[in-house]
Amino acid sequence: MTCNIGKVDRIIRIVLGVALLGWGIMNGNIIADVVGGVLLFTAIIGWCPPYALFGINTGCNPKKD
């Protein structure tokens, strides 16, 4: 598992994740909580499964073999 999320992408994911988690908790919306949690988790670990599936890399340096 290599990094495929850049700095700007991580910041956006953190902001949206916190906003969705807060909104979901205040309104009792479990879907918003799950989506917000996934956004925060992917921002923290720096890897996004759909990005890996489609070969997207938004800023991390790819490892050279």
- Three-state SS annotation for the chain: CCCCCCHHHHHHHHHHHHHHHHHHHHHCCHHHHHHHHHHHHHHHHCCCHHHHHHCCCCCCCCCCC
Q: For residue range 7-17, list pLDDT tens digits in order.
A: 999 999 999 99
Compute the mean pLDDT over every residue in the chain, rounded to the nearest whole number: 91
pLDDT digit string (tens) for 31-41? 999 999 999 99
| Each residue's pLDDT tens digit, 18-55 | 999 999 999 999 999 999 999 999 999 999 999 999 99
Whole-model pTM?
Answer: 0.83
